[in-house]
Structure 1
Amino acid sequence: MSTKPPEWVEGPWSVQLHSVNRSPYVKLHMENRSFPNWIISYVKTGHVTTGTGGETHTAKAGDVMLHPPGLPFSEHADVGGVHLWMQVSILCSHQFDLLMLYRVSPVITLPEPARYEAVFAKLLAEWGNRELSFRDLKITTSMLQLTEMILTGWEKAGNPERSSAYSSSGDRFARLIGQMSMRLEERLTREELASLVCLSANYMDRAFQQQFGLTPMQMLRDMRLKRAKQLLEMSEETLETIAARCGFTDASYLCKQFKKEYGVLPGEYRESVRYKQTENVYG
């Protein structure tokens, strides 16, 4: 299955890198291994069969394997090889797991493997030098570069989605968030959101808030306001049109919610942004 990736995934971006290494092997026999974070493993040399939930894939030199958190996986190889791998969490706005929101396929062929290897070598050196100035910033920069290359490879392949065999507990709410973001203009109710994940509304609220710090309806409001803010910055659309596109009943209600969140009315915000966008910095 292929689908266009959602355009609503946005920063700020953060990386939580837990381990990074270069691992040569003569033969490989891993069964039912699982980790609390994503394992991203690049095949530098070798040929690997990997599987999760009864589904198997092959990975050759220049491919990346992605193993979701908490899901047992296997890797097998009868000949030697080298893997460049890391255990990592890559987060975007609201601390969403990027690779949960983008349902990236389990094996991806990279368009520029030499570039990936060069950036990985830099990341490995940064990880190993705890005295390095601005170490966290450099690690985050390198990791985001690698992530961009992985997503580019996925896009070039047509954005094939991983199957249900690779679904973990985190996927349930990732799919819900995806549905919310793609249906901002609709009048979604709490009960409708709960039905999308086959939960009672009360249980959904508790479980979602435990994971994200706010309820689905609160997050939906935040998404709508952020989208309205973007449209005010980037378009000439009227407040009525923006309100409709972002799921607010009318321009008046948008103004009320926008002022409550950002401290200014939408029109005032647009005017201030336009002034700053056209101002001559050195004038």
Structure 2
Amino acid sequence: MIRSQFGITVLDVIKIQYKTRILFDYVQTCYTVSYIQKGEVLTTSPEGEYVASAGDVMIHRPNEPFNVISQRDGVHYLFNIHAEVGDGADFFKLFPLGKVIRIRDRNEYERKFDELRSLWLQEGDDHRNIQIGSLAFFLLYEIVESTKLGGRQTTRDPAITDRFNEALHYMEARLDQEMTREELAKLYHMNPVYFSRAFQKIYKLTPMQMLRKLRLQHAKQLLESTDYTMEHISRCCGFYDAAHFSKAFHNSFGKGPAEYRKCIKFT
């Protein structure tokens, strides 16, 4: 005998296609699980601001106002549900998920949603209701597994000091490349302004200031341990040219790179 400990009520299953989409302070009494099949949106809630794009799921919680803004064509697959575990505990409180989650297998998720949507549009009977519940459960399962197996889950706790380790590693691996705040913000599905504000709250530097600091630290190490030319070091560390590198290095360390290297050798 298998006795289920999971209860799910599906309230609506919808496909939305739009040219632009703007919702302000939208509140509902259920969870909305909204998968972006096409497009990109900015979503804001009491938790913060995030950018979600094709292949991401947004989870909107009940009784919490949220905004959704998109200025481009888009298609959303969404379903509204109540989900309970055991003796009535809220599923999403027992298994807290981020605001935006990257789905590990888009094709499978979309195929199962199409099945769910097709059943939802049919005349109701007990057999259909069981199938609808099973498919909704499968989609939730895919979302939970996506957070474990490589799908990105946005954090809900801004006090965690290693929150932006991924961004630091990303910068360090690409010091010689051009980089923007928007590029880094996409790693966390965040609005660039909110990302910069949250990053600065932890490190007391903006993301671009941190990138400059990491570049100069790397340049310092190269000056200490190699005989590379100033032109080569400036390229390795993402500066436009040797003159720009020399000026930035002097402003940070009080000596030009050539003078610093001479002092190291003398020591």
SS in 2 for 1:134: helix
Look up the equivalent residue of 2:101 and give its one-letter code: I
Q: Deviations over 1:217-271 (max 9, x none)?
A: xxxxxxxxxxxxxxxxxxxxxxxxxxxxxxxxxxxxxxxxxxxxxxxxxxxxxxx
Query: How far apart are residue 45 of structure 1 and its match?
Result: 0.2
Matched, 1:97 2:90: yes
The question of 1:148 aligning with 2:137 is answered no
Quick one: distance in 1 between partners of 2:134 and 2:142?
13
Shift of 1:91: 1.4
Q: Larger Rg: 1 or 2?
A: 2
What value does the CA root-mean-square deviation take over the aligned residues?
A: 2.1
User: How does 1:132-147 map onto structure 2 within 5 Å?
Assistant: 134-147=127-140
Task: Report the 3-state secondary structure (helix = DSSP H, G, I; strand = E; otherwise coil) of the residue aligned with 1:120.
Answer: helix
Whole-Å Cα distance in 1 between the matches of residues 152 and 91 of structure 2?
14
Residue 83 of structure 1: how far off its partner (Å): 0.2
Task: Kindly report which structure 2 residues correspond to 1:177-256, keeping only aligned pairs within 5 A, or say none.
Answer: none
For normalisation by structure 2, the TM-score amounts to 0.55
Distance (whole Å) between structure 2 residues aligned to residue 133 and residue 54 of structure 1 = 38
Q: Specify the code of the residue in structure 2 equivalent to 1:57.
A: Y
Establish whether residue 23 from structure 1 lines up as the match of residue 16 from structure 2: yes
Give 3-state SS (helix, strand or coil) of 1:144's partner: helix
Where do 5+ consecutive residues of structure 2 fail to align? 159-267
Matched pairs, number: 156
Give 2:12's aligned amino acid.
Answer: S
Q: 2:29 aligns with which of 36, 55, 62?
A: 36
Instruction: Give the corresponding residue for 1:107.
Output: 100
Write the letter of the residue equivalent to 1:143. A
How far apart are 1:11 and its partner, in Å? 4.6
In the alignment, the residues of structure 2 paired with residue 11 and residue 164 of structure 1 have an alpha-carbon distance, to the nearest angstrom, of 32
Asked if 1:55 is matched to 2:51, the reply is: no
Structure-2 residue corresponding to 1:14: 7
SS at 1:108 equivalent: strand
Q: Evaluate the alpha carbon distance shift between residue 162 and residue 34 of structure 1 in structure 2; reply closer, same or farther with a 3 A threshold.
A: farther
Task: Supply the AA of the counterpart residue of 1:28.
Answer: R
Equivalent pairs: percent with the same residue?
A: 22
The amino acid across from 1:112 in the alignment is D
Secondary structure class of the residue paired with 2:33: strand
- Quote how far apart the aligned CAs of 1:131 are: 4.0
Indicate if the aligned counterparts of 2:44 and 2:68 stay in contact, CA closer than 8 A: yes
Q: Which residue of 1 aligns with 2:59?
A: 66
Describe the superposition over 1:24-72 as per-residue Cα deviations: whole angstroms up to 9, x where unpaired. Answer: 0000111110110101100000011101026101111010000111100
What are the ranges of 5 or more consecutive residues in structure 1 without an aligned counterpart?
1-9, 166-283
Per-residue Cα deviation, 1:63-105 (whole angstroms, up to 9, x for no partner): 0000111100011111010000111012111111111111100
Q: Retained in 1: the 8 A contact 2:101–2:152?
A: no
- Whether contact under 8 Å (1:38, 1:89) holds in the other structure is yes
